A = this chain, B = another copy of it.
Amino acid sequence: MSGDKPGAGAKVVLAYSGGLDTSTILVWLQEQGYQVVAYLANIGQDEDFEAVKEKALKFGALKMVIPDLREEFVTDYIWPAIQGNAMYEDRYLLGTALARPLIAKAMVKVAVEEGAQFVSHGATGKGNDQIRFELGAYALQPDIKVISPWRMPEFFTRFPGRNELFTYAEEKGIPLPVTPKTPWSMDANLMHISYESGVLENPDHHAPDGLYNMTVDPEKAPEEGEVIELEFKKGCAVRVTNVAAAVTKTNPLDVFVYLNELGGKHSIGRVDLVENRSIGMKSRGIYETPGGTILIEAHTDIEIFTMDREMRRIKRDLDLQFGDQVYKGFWFSPECEFTRKCIALSQECVEGVVTMKLYKGRVYILGRRSELSLYNEELVSMNVQGDYEPTDAGGFIKINSLRLKEYARLRKQQQS
């Protein structure tokens, strides 16, 4: 009887991908006495969801839940990230980090609906995702219990390497991967694919040919660029127009998918970096974020175009905090909620149209226009004086030099 076992018949919602690791965990949890509800979030990854479901049920899951979260991912996670120009360590656009809280939220929802007190996942003990998952879960459902097999000695000492997993899988009838595993791991969703570990662990080892999936190699990208217009309202993309191709998209998910398509075609958004994980170790990651890269370039442009300089300086600090919060798994936290609200406040007037050319890996900003810009062509013109007195600048400079002159005076005095 399961009652004698750790699980004792309790229900657990397992984030299940259909792969070897989580299939093993699915079976192992049942061995421990748990009843398992399998769960897989559709966040736009390329997946045969029906096949995963069949697998889950075949290996004993009570049921399999596969919510479609793509629209929510775009409007509630990616859009705020673009508003906040969210980046980690100046370059990573946070594709995985943004998806995790949403996956955790939907998983907790399943747990509540299914009356499960436990959730479980197959994230490793050295990574960021365990943190993002679990902080999200605890924040939304403080009394949830998390089963993290790769951090449990009874699990990880039983499966110290791939061989032990294979043996167990064979015993349990879990099919081994038919295609040979790539010598790196990847995580894919609507926003990006990330690659890490394996041969990439050597930070001087160049990204192997054939690694990328969302973007073509720049050498193979079209010889001619493509011009698009992207329209923003309140800092969110509301319309993309490809005049030459006579394409227009306005629904958020459509806009994002189309930008992904264009970005992929023109090789936009590849990044190779060594980053600092939440747990404090440096790690090499390679990312491709085609649509997100186009969006953040355009948003930065229209934001500077429309927003007051000093306000943006404050907002820039919030952006930096926001990027760190998201990376570290604190999406559902008082500070991140506050930061998101402040950033949203700043976007009231961030509206207008940015024209860009996409060509072989780069987004070239060509121009921008807005009904709400603080840009004043007459004021700035070199040919018209406008409402501007050049003599004022002299006073401005003189007053600004006051401090500097005093400092010079002091230093001369010190030297003498």
Q: Which residues of B contact A383 (CB under 8 A)?
A: 161, 197
A387–B402 Cα distance when bound, in Å, is 9
Quick one: which of B139, B201, B395 contacts A392, CB cutoff 8 A?
B395
Segment with Cβ contacts to B, from A6-14, A68-76, A249-257, A278-286? A278-286
- Interchain nearest-CB distance for A185 vs B (Å): 7
Q: Is the CB of B407 within 8 A of A281?
A: no
**Cβ–Cβ contact A281 & B379, under 8 A:** yes
Q: Tell me if B201 and A381 are in contact (CB < 8 A).
A: yes
Measured CB to CB, the nearest residue on chain B to A345 is B341
Q: Is the CB of B203 within 8 A of A367?
A: yes
Q: Which of A50-58, A169-177, A317-325 contacts B (4 or more CB under 8 A)?
A: A317-325
B282–A305 touching, CB < 8 Å = yes
Q: Which of A338-357 contact B (CB under 8 A)?
A: 338-339, 341-342, 345-346, 349, 355
Q: A125-B390, A396-B395, A398-B395 are contacts. A301–B282 as well, Cβ < 8 Å?
A: no
Greatest chain B CB density within 10 A among A161, A276, A318 is at: A276
Q: Which residues of B contact A365 (CB under 8 A)?
A: 272-273
The answer to whether B314 touches A380 (Cβ under 8 A) is no
Is the CB of A335 closer than 8 A to any CB of chain B?
yes
CB–CB A272/B366 < 8 A: yes
Tell me if A265 counts as interface (CB < 8 A to partner B).
Answer: no
**Across the interface, do B281 and A380 meet the contact criterion of CB distance under 8 Å?**
yes
- Residue of B with least CB distance to A202: B377
Flag whether A151 is at the interface (Cβ < 8 A). Answer: yes
Q: Please, which residues of chain B bring their CB within 8 A of the CB of A373? A: 203, 282, 410
* Given contact pairs A135-B404, A361-B359, A401-B135, A320 touches B309 in the complex (Cβ within 8 A): no
A148: Cβ under 8 A from any B Cβ: yes
Residues in B whose Cβ lies below 8 Å from that of A360 = 218, 359-362
Taking CB atoms, residues of chain B closer than 8 Å to A85 are 90
Q: Chain B interface: which of A26-34, A38-46, A59-67, A204-212?
A: A204-212
A224 to chain B, nearest CB (A): 8
Nearest B residue to A162, CB-CB: B383
| Bound Cα distance A141, B395 (Å) | 18
Closest residue of B by beta carbon distance from A133: B397
In angstroms, Cα B309 to Cα A330, docked, is 13
In Å, the complex CA distance between A390 and B402 comes to 12
Q: A185-B382, A318-B314, A373-B282 are in contact. Are A393 and B404 (CB under 8 A)?
A: no
The reply to whether B280 and A309 form a contact with Cβ atoms under 8 Å apart is: yes
- Nearest B residue to A372 via CB reads B410
Contact between A130 and B397 (Cβ–Cβ < 8 Å)?
Answer: yes
Residue A234 CB within 8 A of the other chain: no
Structural contact, B151 and A404, CB atoms closer than 8 A: no
| Known A-B contacts A304-B275, A393-B279, A394-B148; A335 and B316 likewise in contact (beta carbons under 8 Å) | no
7 more CB-based (< 8 A) A-B contacts, given A277-B380, A279-B396: A131-B396, A135-B400, A139-B401, A204-B355, A314-B338, A334-B403, A379-B406
Closest 9 CB pairs of A and B: A395-B395, A125-B390, A308-B334, A276-B309, A392-B395, A310-B335, A138-B401, A280-B402, A396-B399
Q: Would you list 12 pairs from A and B whose C-beta atoms are within 8 A, ordered by A residue? A: A89-B304, A139-B404, A197-B381, A204-B355, A206-B367, A219-B224, A280-B403, A308-B403, A333-B407, A359-B361, A360-B361, A392-B398
